[in-house]
Amino acid sequence: MKKKELALKELGQIIQDMKIKAGERLPPERELVKRLNISRNTLRSILHALEARGLVSIRPGSGCYLRIGISPAHDNPLELNLSPEKAMADQLEAAFMLLPIVAEHAAHHIGARHLEELKQCSVNISRSIFQKSAERVWNESLTFFRLVAVGTGNDFLVRTVEQVCSTDMATYDIFFTLRREEREAIFADHIKLLHALQARDGDWARSITANYFLRMCNILEEREQVPMTDLVYRSLREKAEQDQKDTLWHT
């Protein structure tokens, strides 16, 4: 059983043992991280996935609250409503649908200060890769896309992007097992997006961001058996067909 699946099962057991009812708050994040023996990012990924399915409600500054009663009739009551792979596939699809539009919008509104912060964030990602810190690569990438959202000037979009990108995508757990060209392509996408934003080119920013998340989906299916949604699969196939046409056109 994968660590995330085990943590999900143990969380369901904690809810049962503590007799937490619908509307009541779960234990604090710090306590759950310790009891489940997982990282804070992994815990947040699980909680956000549960929230997306209406099982819990996350209230910033207050905590995480159970929205439904948990029946003791099953070994893993939470898993009946949540497959970690399905949750990740759904979040990747949401990111693929949302982030390109956010990037396009940011290209027309982002200011010099936020562009400078994105530039520094790119440097931090590069340093994290050099230091071979998968967790830092992931955290800096989260910061990067949050800054892109901040560049839109829309606070609601910022909060939405934070939730969509909250999952601890397995790509970064396996980042340093990827082929060198795969790692370089992931990093290059960040740099290309920065250049597109600096150029105020919304179409370019949108295209780069879409390709970035398609790349992530492809890697996760190959390495972690995370299924592609129909939308992502169709988009990848269309991109491959277009790339083939472009290649033929230039030969």
Instruction: Give the pair of three-digit tokens for residue 236.
Output: 């990848």
Task: List, for residues 40-56, the tens digit of each pLDDT value.
Answer: 888 888 888 787 777 78
Average of pLDDT values for 140-144? 91
2-11, 63-72, 119-128, 216-225, range with the lowest pLDDT? 63-72
CATH 1.10.10.10 describes domain 3-66: yes
- In sequence order, the 6+-apart residues with CB closer than 8 A to the CB of 116 are none
Average of pLDDT values for 113-137? 92
CA 61 and chain centroid, separation: 22
* Domain positions in the chain: 3-66, 84-249
Helices (H), the chain: 3-17, 29-36, 40-52, 84-107, 112-130, 134-150, 155-164, 170-173, 180-198, 202-224, 230-249
User: Mean pLDDT for the chain?
Assistant: 85
**Per-residue confidence (pLDDT) for residue 70, from 0 to 100:** 57
Task: List, for residues 15-40, the tens digit of each pLDDT value.
Answer: 888 888 888 999 999 999 999 999 88
3-state secondary structure of 24: coil
143, amino acid identity: T
Region of 61 on the Ramachandran plot (φ > 0 left; ψ -120 to 50 alpha; else beta): left
Task: List, for residues 169-204, the tens digit of each pLDDT value.
Answer: 445 667 888 888 989 999 999 999 999 999 999 999
**Per-residue confidence (pLDDT) for residue 80, from 0 to 100:** 46
Q: Which CATH class is domain 84-249?
A: mainly alpha
**Per-residue confidence (pLDDT) for residue 79, from 0 to 100:** 56
For the chain, the first-to-last Cα distance in angstroms comes to 49
